[in-house]
Amino acid sequence: MAYKAMILAAGKGTRVRPITYTIPKPMIPILERPVMEFLVDLLRRHGITQIMVNVSHLAHQIENYFRDGQRFGVQIAYSFEGRIVEGELIGEALGSAGGMKRIQEFNPFFDDTFVVLCGDALIDLDLTAAIRWHHHRQSLATIITKSVPLEVVSNYGVVVTDEHYRIRSFQEKPRQEEALSTQINTGIYIFEPEIFEYIPSGEVYDLGSQLFPRLVELGVPFYALPMQFEWIDIGQVPDYWRTVQMVLQGQVPHVPIPGQQIRPGIYTGLNVAADWTKIHVQPPVYIGGMTRIEPGVTIIGPAMIGPNCRLGQNSCVERSIIFEYSRLGNGVHLKDKLVFGRYCVDKSGATIDLQKAALDWLITDARCEVPPGVGTGTHL
């Protein structure tokens, strides 16, 4: 049986700002590939090739990249949540469950068991085995859970079950001493079409905070399946920073480093302009195509420098991520930072607006003309 899937991609990604001011969360790049592309690839590998995506915030970016899914070996269609005001698209997300209901009411698409994935995590899960377990339990709804260490349980939504894996309650980001379980909701769900009987029409309605507690209250067959698998949540900027660090260090097996390896642990895109005898690079490092690196630059990995960047003389990039078209001034030292447009973010998520702080001479758009010698000897 060929099952169907939905990827939830309509959220504004407020916890990953400033990146999501201009990039929707599912399009956040993991070394040049959007995170949602890995989800599409996972579904395809498990024979799930009919995929519905709900979109809202910056919807055009998702639609323009994935189109009809043909080049990814799948079929994709989109459900836009919002309206047009004075010629401009205004996103108005309907909530995760509300978005599902809208598609089903438009025309019954989900006619058998289907999978729903949140569009903001890297996962490598045996979906086929999970669906088989779901059927064995004759479950209406199944949440895939994962065990995390007790000390980080307060970052997640906790799922509490009985000895038969039937869900009894939820805890949203409980304090460590109050947590009744270390099994967390991974945002991966398996449903039967009958689930739509429990979702109201024409309302903003959420899976986690509204639908799931209702299913528990009504006593329907609702289970949690604990599985050990690779799951990297990109819920916040620090999560994203750590994810890129892990990928560069080879700790995420299904995410290869792009480009060509010119030296051990040093990968580049096309036509990087650098005199390798006059710079110091400590791997692992990825440098995007058409980037210029001036003499005296030091790059200490894990570090990612996007395409079309320019690193000024004697600048230093240490364990940092620099998005495309960024220019680093001469002598500027970045350590444990993420540079995105006009923003510089540290690994804890604290953000500097370079324009408002009058520091935009340190880091600028590489396409702008900048007087020589600016930005000398500054640490960020």
Instruction: Report phi then psi at 69, rounded to 5.
Output: 85, -5
Residue 358, pLDDT above cutoff 70: no
What is the tens place of the pLDDT at every residue in 280-330? Answer: 999 999 999 999 999 999 999 899 999 999 999 999 999 999 988 888 888
Residue positions counted in the chain: 380
Residue 373 in tokens: 């010698």
- Of the chain, the end-to-end C-alpha distance in Å amounts to 54
2: confidence class by pLDDT, cuts 50, 70, 90: confident
What is the tens place of the pLDDT at every residue in 208-247? Answer: 889 999 999 999 999 999 998 888 877 777 888 888 888 9
Residue 361, pLDDT above cutoff 60: no
Please tell me the predicted confidence (pLDDT) of residue 360. 47
Please tell me the predicted confidence (pLDDT) of residue 370. 59
Which of 323, 301, 326 lies closest to 311 in space, CA to CA? 326
Does 370 or 327 have the greater pLDDT score? 327
Bridge partners of 365?
A: 326
Q: How many CB atoms lie within 10 A of CB 256?
A: 12
Does 352 or 79 have the greater pLDDT score? 79
- One DSSP character per residue, 29-91 reads EETTEEHHHHHHHHHHHTT--EEEEEE-TTHHHHHHHHTTSGGGTSEEEEEE-EEEETTEEEE
Residue 261, pLDDT above cutoff 90: yes
Please tell me the predicted confidence (pLDDT) of residue 129. 94
Residue 359, pLDDT above cutoff 60: no
What is the tens place of the pLDDT at every residue in 22-40? Answer: 788 899 888 888 999 999 9
What is the tens place of the pLDDT at every residue in 284-293? Answer: 999 999 999 9
Please tell me the predicted confidence (pLDDT) of residue 12. 77
Does 99 or 347 have the greater pLDDT score? 99
Please tell me the predicted confidence (pLDDT) of residue 7. 95
338: confidence class by pLDDT, cuts 50, 70, 90: confident
If you average pLDDT over residues 180-207, what whole number do you get?
92
What is the tens place of the pLDDT at every residue in 71-122? Answer: 999 999 999 877 878 777 776 788 899 999 999 999 999 999 999 998 888 8
Q: How many CA atoms lie within 13 A of 177 on its CB side?
A: 0
Burial of 86 per CB tally in 10 Å (0-12, 13-18, 19+): exposed
Strands 266-268, 260-263: pairing kind: antiparallel
Residue 378, pLDDT above cutoff 60: no
Please tell me the predicted confidence (pLDDT) of residue 11. 81
What is the tens place of the pLDDT at every residue in 125-156? Answer: 999 999 999 999 999 999 999 998 898 888 88
pTM (predicted TM-score): 0.85
- One DSSP character per residue, 12-36 reads --GGGTTHHHHS-GGG-EETTEEHH
